Amino acid sequence: MKLKADFHKKKILLIATGGTIASCYTEEGLTPKLAAEDLLQYVEGHQVYCSVDVTQPFGLDSTNIYAKHWLELAKLIETRYEDYDGFVICHGTDTMAFTAAALSYLVQNSKKPIVITGSQKPINLPVTDARTNLQDSLRFASDDRAHGVNIVFGGNAIAGTRAKKERSKSYNAFSSINFPNVAALCDGKIVFYIDDKDRVAEPVTFYHQLNENILLLKLVPGMDGAVLDRLFPYYDAVIIEAFGVGGLPEYGKVPFYSEIRRWTDAGKIVMMATQVTHEGSDMEVYQVGRVIKEDFHLMEAYDMTLEATVTKLMWALGQSKESVRFRHLFYKTINHDVLLQEGADCV
């Protein structure tokens, strides 16, 4: 293949963190064994459009990855940011959407692509999605139109705040929730549906604080509000994953209403979200949602994914606990994470 004289071969940093893509079979089940150098040996042809360096800050099943590791990855990208044109992170699928969302908040306004990928089968198997996903990720990270944090998986590029793992075994494991795919990848070609790199006007910004004292509470029919009383001493914020468009039940010996008052009076954050994957919350629709939202000025996640809601809450509280500042941070759209409904409170 003859390259044009003005062709710029991209320099990519491959960051291996473990996951299924790097796993081998053991007597105790799949566990990450392969190093970053091993992964690169299974993909061919990328040398035409990029050169790749490798590093491995840790090698874990993604079940064991949490805020500490998100901060470590963001710091690694920050220290190497000027040295590379893009970054590809190999990661387990189970918490990949959380990591992608967290990095969207920890690394903002990046004109360089930060791609997260992995696989449903190990890369060293004869039949696997790993080689295609890694090849697609290197190609996407080398494209001039790519920027910011995206998951590349199953032939799609998905904004880091919009991805959700919806299938536990199939190769098309991830979907983009309440937002279009950024791009499609097939046979070495990339079709961008969202080409907005030129809109990134602010300089890249790295953040170094997350507040991990966040509780996610999933409502089940019959749950008593006393559960919030027991958890009160341990958390600075609670996300209540409610039914439908959002609301709180009125039954129980300890009403949710009185416990919400206790949390908000103490200056703690109560965030309402929905258990429904698509279309988001709207607490104004029913009495069970409207009254409690208006009485306590509750926040809600609207069309955000649960993964984005959790990690953005960690990030925003990590920057400020002051109410007005926190609300401003949380409702600022970052990497396409929230499309506010009319009348949403942004102050």
Residue recorded with tokens 């990590």: 318
With beta carbons less than 8 A apart as the criterion, state whether 61 and 18 touch.
yes
Residue recorded with tokens 């009319």: 342
How many angstroms separate the CA atoms of 165 and 168, rounded? 7
Residue recorded with tokens 């926040």: 299
Residue 55 designated active-site: no
Phi first, then psi, for residue 74 (nearest 5°) are: -60, -40
Spatial CA neighbour of 304 closest among 334, 329, 327, 324: 334
SS3 329: helix
- In the chain, how long is the greatest CA-to-CA distance? 75
Spatial CA neighbour of 274 closest among 309, 298, 240, 242: 242
- Tell me the residue type at 89: I
Selected catalytic residue, list 17, 20, 95, 305? 20
Spatial CA neighbour of 67 closest among 257, 190, 210: 210
Phi first, then psi, for residue 219 (nearest 5°) are: -70, 140
Beta strands in 85-236 (DSSP E): 86-90, 107-108, 113-117, 148-153, 156-159, 163-165, 174-176, 183-186, 189-192, 205-206, 214-218
The residues that are catalytic are 20
